[in-house]
Each structure stands twice: as C-alpha cells, then as structure tokens.
Chain A
C-alpha cells in the first residue's frame, strides 16, 4: 500500500530557542482511601521537563505511570501539589483572572483519547468549533468564524470542509472524529496541543493517518505537541524527543533516536524488548517479568523500578536516582547506567 522508503524527515527544531513550556519539580499527589486516610498516591513526583516551540515530545509509559496526570497538570485540570509550570516565562500559579486563564487554555488545548465520547452527539461538528472560536477569538464575526472553521477542518485532512461541518458525530468514522478533535484544538491558534493517547482507540489502519496529521500541523501551523502514548513505535514515528515515565518519575529522556537505539534505563530496555515486531525474531530473555507496575502509595526513598530491575544494587534501595546526563542531550535516572564514551572525563553540571 504505502510506498516504503522515503525517510520521513523531522523538521529542524531550534535547539537554542527558549522553551515554550517548562515544568520544574512538578508533583501531584492524590489522597486515597477514606476521610481519615493518610495514604497518598504519588502520581507524579518531581518532574522536570520542557517543550520547545515546534517540537513534538512523546511521553511514554505504562498505564498508571502518571503520564495522563502530567497532561492534566499542564492543561490546568489539576492543581499541582508542588513545583511549577512556566509558560513563556510566566508561572502558571501566578496567573490570575479570566482573561489570562482563557488565553492559556486557548494556547494549550487538549485532545482526548476517546473520539466517541469527546464530541457532543446532539450538535453538528461546526458547533464545537465555532463555540470555541467565540470564546477564544471573539474578534471574528460569523462569516469569519465559518471561514476559520472550514480552514481548520481542511487542515486536518477532512474535505469538503463545508459538508463535514454540517454533519453529526455519528455520521463520522472514529478516525474522522479524532481529526475533528484536532481541528477544534487548532481553531484556537494553539502553541502546544496536549494529545493524550489520541490514536489508541482507533483502528490500526487509520492510526498512521492521524500521526501524519500531527506531523503536518507541526510543520505547517507551528504547533508543538506533547504526545502521550504507550505505543513506543508510534512515538518514534512522530516525535523529536522522548520521555519515559515509570511510577510517577521521568526515568529517561533524550532525542528519540538516541533513546531507542541506546536506551540507558533498565525500564526503557525492558519496554523496548517487549514491543512485538514481526520483522524481528522474538526476544524471550526477560520473560520472567510479569509486567506488574507498582502502586506508588506513600513511597519510601529508592528507585521505584528496583524490584523488577536485573541490575539493582544496594544504593538503589536507599537513594532515589535523579536524572543524570549520560549522552548527548540524553538523561536517565539510574544509579547503574553508564555514560557514553564521549562523555568520559567530561564534567557536566
């Protein structure tokens, strides 16, 4: 079907550009149990990361690792327990007033996982888009809003736009609905789209189409993406940088190809070895691992992967590893991981 081989280019990202959004020590704890319970679930602990303009950053991890919590923190659905989110140099916690909040929500919209429940079945497609336009871009008159709605629908690959806008969600396929999800987000002229598992509910044969839409929006509309997924192969397909989460910690981060070709953290290694690949022989080395993620309730110090880790040493049970620079823009939170040779003898701070 697809003619293989032209290598999908990754458009250059300006490495020197100041980050669009940055998280510093971002932490979210949830209280679990009854009213008098003192147990807290550590969904995200001390996450530090940033996203540059025009960059697609993938966040991968198993369910319960805290990746959706990060998206919701960035979308201001949750208030962080600790740490800060800095958007274009300003702390989110310092934002006050409706207009500032509105601007932020327009700049950083979210696309949800389930296209079947995220569109209102009682309204035509145009309703969701024009409503968002009225709120976020009040300067547009009715004709202008209509034109803009047609533009965003076409930008996500749905034509003819005027006809699609007149349809109801049930008249669209899953892939088309999810494209509408992206079109709604796009209508606000966003800077960063938070895409939380946007393709996991879709059929395999149409997933690629959506990923291509993301790549296209980045290239043509200059939007950054935080692409949250458990599918590493799709993360590799679209992303520039990759962050791996495990039990509330970001355990590895780096340029996508570097992380995948030279994974530093034992968890990343395990994850990569488990991806089914019909083109490669089956790897059955680490099969004793049952793949049970820990529940991070009232955690103590130490690496959260140590129970499953084949390389765990004494220090892993007492000291929580921090992200260390181990290669070119490549960090991992592991006591055991070795740095690349090029870094030998070089002091990094």
Chain B
C-alpha cells in the first residue's frame, strides 16, 4: 500500500547540506504495523515527516519516491495532497499538548478537520466525533473540553481519535506514548493495536524505545545516522539481531527480570551528519569494527528474513570476519 523507495531528505545549512534521511526504502502492507526505532538525531522523525509530506524549509526531499496507493506523493501539488491528508492518511504527533489547539475545544478541532474535506451537517460531525471518542475510550462529554482539562493520556487518545475521523488507511505515529507513564503507555499501546485490528489501518510507529514495540509491530526498522541499518520481522530482529548497533541497543536496556548483569551501553555518541563519514557510520562506536569498516560503506545485505547494513554480511568482505573468528577459536 505504501512504498517508500530510496527516499533522501536533506537539510540545507550554511556549511553544507545534511542528509538526515539517506536512501531509505520501506514497504507497508495493508493493516501492517511497522516500527521505526533509533536514537534522537537518527532521522526517524524526519522520515515520517517526509512520508507525510510535511517537511518545511530548510528540509527537502532530494531523491526517491513515496508511493501511496499507486500515487507518488512527492510529485503531488499541495492541493492534491490536501485531499488525501487526514482522509487517507493521518499523523499523530509526539506531544499532544503542543499538537492540539489550546484555545478551542476538542470538538471544535474535530469539526475543523472534517470540514476541511467536505461539507457535513453539524449532526453528522457530532455523531462521528462521538463515535471516535468512544472508540478510544474517552467519554464524549470531553468534546466540549479544552486540551488543558484532559490528562496527558486522554490528550494523546484524543489525538488518536482525531486521526481516525475518516478511518484512514494509514496512521503515522511519532512517539505518541513518550510523554506517558509506563502504565498509561502500555494501556495506549494495547488500545492502538486493538483499534488496528478492528479498523484495519496500517501504522508506521516511530519510537526511541525499542522494547516498546517488541510485542506490537510486525516489521521493524532500526535507523542509525539517517540510514536503515537493520530491517526485518520484529521477532527476528529481537531474537537474533544482526547489526552490532541493534545488538547494542537491545543490550542497553536493563531488565527488571532475570539476573542483574553489568551493561556497558554503546560507547561514544551518534555522528554529526553535517560531516562526511567515510565507511560504515557506526564503525567509530562499533566494538567489532575491522579496518575496512572505516573505508568501505556497507550496503544492505540480506540474511534470512532480515536485512543488515554491516560489512560482515557482504559477500565480498565477510572473509575478514571469518578469519577473525577462526583465529579467535
């Protein structure tokens, strides 16, 4: 349903252009839940904005295509996009506190969104608003409430209700739970999944918390420094992560169960994308890096059901690791 091909987004800065999203390819099938994880600054939010065509200066798509139900969104005019937006795909932003208008009631904002697409009678709008509020489990009396009168969890639910006004095919979510407490977070995740099963929309879900999507997403994309470093079915990525970065990310979470082990996290910090990086972008932080990692850029290599951007899986270069592991044993 959604095909993102070689999508590249650059931010024009005074010094140089910064490639925040570099050659990302991604497919979303009908009703699928795709998780995108990575640290701050890895380009995951920029990717979402690029898919939704919400980028504003100085960011711009400089390559690739976003094909949504057969139409290339990148080539569309603003008017054509307006017809699709919210009706066919909607976006749930990270902070509902900032995404909702503080000076109008929730109901008025729902009305705005609906009237942007067609003329509806007040009765129809009200009926639909009540329906979506009930869907997300908020008492419809809150249609008359202002955002500040709702708790964080309810605001986030109201945002999701708003995103479902037209029952779109695709809902794009940018860390919708990051401002919530764990209990509220789990409850919201379960509810999102439940709604998805009921209504059949697809979800692209961006988060920095890898463990959060582990039980919910079908496909998982791990991003680092603007690139996809690992992609595959969620369970595969969790059970046998192939890229050293995904492995490091998984090991960076202390567990509340099982033995207490000393963790080290990933040394160093993500690179500055404004500077050209030769070779693998993760190499400076990688404990398994070989000499050629600093000079050769890896591609995405297929291993089993997943893909990994690490030279040890490259058919041309894997010898270096094989020799090393032989020496070790």
Tell yes or no: A209 within 8 A of B by CB.
yes
A 200-233 binary contact with B (CB < 8 Å = 1; else 0): 0001111111011000000000000000001011
A 78-91 binary contact with B (CB < 8 Å = 1; else 0): 00000000000000
Q: Is B212's CB under 8 angstroms from A276's CB?
A: yes
Residues of A within 8 A of B185 (CB): 274, 276, 291
Contact of A278 with B265 at beta-carbon distance under 8 Å, contacts A204-B208, A290-B153 already known? no
Tell yes or no: A140 within 8 A of B by CB.
no
Interface residues of A in 255-285 (CB under 8 A from B): 257, 260, 270-272, 274-282, 284
Nearest CB in chain A to that of B235: its residue: A278
Residues of B within 8 A of A236 (CB): 254, 256, 260
Q: Is B212's CB under 8 angstroms from A291's CB?
A: no
Q: Is A208's CB under 8 angstroms from B181's CB?
A: no
Q: Is B254's CB under 8 angstroms from A2's CB?
A: no
Q: Is B264's CB under 8 angstroms from A274's CB?
A: no
Q: Is B208's CB under 8 angstroms from A278's CB?
A: no
* A287 smallest CB distance to B (angstroms): 5
Contact of A276 with B187 at beta-carbon distance under 8 Å, contacts A207-B252, A236-B254 already known? no
Partner of A6, one of B181, B252, B257, B262: B262
Partner of B260, one of A1, A237, A270, A272: A237
Partner of A292, one of B153, B254, B265, B266: B153
Contact of A291 with B181 at beta-carbon distance under 8 Å, contacts A205-B252, A278-B250, A284-B190 already known? yes
Interface residues of B in 239-290 (CB under 8 A from A): 244, 247-267, 269-270, 287
Tell yes or no: B314 within 8 A of A by CB.
no
- For the complex, count residues of B whose C-beta is within 8 A of A: 49
Query: In whole angstroms, how far apart are the Cα atoms of A176 and B267 in the complex?
Result: 12
Partner of A287, one of B186, B248, B254: B186
Nearest CB in chain B to that of A281: its residue: B215
Tell yes or no: B137 within 8 A of A by CB.
yes
Partner of A206, one of B182, B209, B269: B269
Tell yes or no: B183 within 8 A of A by CB.
yes
Q: Is B261's CB under 8 angstroms from A6's CB?
A: yes
Q: Is A208's CB under 8 angstroms from B186's CB?
A: no
Residues of A within 8 A of B40 (CB): 203
Q: Is B251's CB under 8 angstroms from A4's CB?
A: yes
A 1-21 binary contact with B (CB < 8 Å = 1; else 0): 111111110000000000000
B 185-198 binary contact with A (CB < 8 Å = 1; else 0): 11100100000000
Interface residues of A in 105-160 (CB under 8 A from B): none
Q: Is A205's CB under 8 angstroms from B39's CB?
A: yes
* A231 smallest CB distance to B (angstroms): 8
Q: Is B264's CB under 8 angstroms from A212's CB?
A: yes
Q: Is A233's CB under 8 angstroms from B256's CB?
A: yes
Query: In whole angstroms, how far apart are the Cα atoms of A257 and B257 in the complex?
Result: 10
Query: In whole angstroms, how far apart are the Cα atoms of A208 and B209 in the complex?
Result: 14
Contact of A205 with B266 at beta-carbon distance under 8 Å, contacts A233-B254, A233-B255 already known? yes
Contact of A205 with B209 at beta-carbon distance under 8 Å, contacts A290-B184, A292-B153 already known? no
Query: In whole angstroms, how far apart are the Cα atoms of A230 and B182 in the complex?
Result: 8
Q: Is B249's CB under 8 angstroms from A204's CB?
A: yes
Partner of A203, one of B39, B262, B287: B39
Residues of A within 8 A of B183 (CB): 62, 270-271, 274, 289, 291
Tell yes or no: A300 within 8 A of B by CB.
no
Query: In whole angstroms, how far apart are the Cα atoms of A83 and B209 in the complex?
Result: 39
Tell yes or no: A48 within 8 A of B by CB.
no
Tell yes or no: B238 within 8 A of A by CB.
yes
Q: Is A4's CB under 8 angstroms from B261's CB?
A: yes
Nearest CB in chain B to that of A10: its residue: B260
Tell yes or no: A63 within 8 A of B by CB.
yes
Interface residues of A in 9-39 (CB under 8 A from B): none
* A82 smallest CB distance to B (angstroms): 27
Tell yes or no: A317 within 8 A of B by CB.
no
Query: In whole angstroms, how far apart are the Cα atoms of A4 and B263 in the complex?
Result: 7
* A292 smallest CB distance to B (angstroms): 6
Q: Is B256's CB under 8 angstroms from A260's CB?
A: yes
Q: Is B181's CB under 8 angstroms from A62's CB?
A: yes
Q: Is A2's CB under 8 angstroms from B153's CB?
A: no
Partner of B251, one of A2, A8, A174, A274: A2
* A256 smallest CB distance to B (angstroms): 9
Query: In whole angstroms, how far apart are the Cα atoms of A192 and B283 in the complex?
Result: 39
Q: Is A290's CB under 8 angstroms from B254's CB?
A: no
Most A C-beta atoms less than 10 A away, residue of B187, B251, B259, B263: B263
Query: In whole angstroms, how far apart are the Cα atoms of A56 and B250 in the complex?
Result: 25
Query: In whole angstroms, how far apart are the Cα atoms of A5 and B182 in the complex?
Result: 27
* B93 smallest CB distance to A (angstroms): 19
Partner of B261, one of A7, A176, A207, A282: A7
Known contacts A205-B265, A271-B183; 9 additional CB pairs below 8 A are A1-B266, A5-B259, A8-B262, A206-B265, A207-B252, A212-B265, A234-B254, A274-B182, A276-B185
3 closest Cβ pairs, A-B complex: A291-B184, A208-B265, A291-B183
Report 22 cross-chain contacts, Cβ distance below 8 Å, ordered by A residue.
Answer: A1-B244, A4-B263, A62-B182, A173-B269, A176-B269, A203-B39, A203-B208, A204-B253, A205-B39, A208-B252, A208-B263, A208-B264, A211-B254, A212-B263, A236-B254, A237-B254, A237-B263, A277-B257, A278-B214, A278-B253, A287-B186, A287-B187
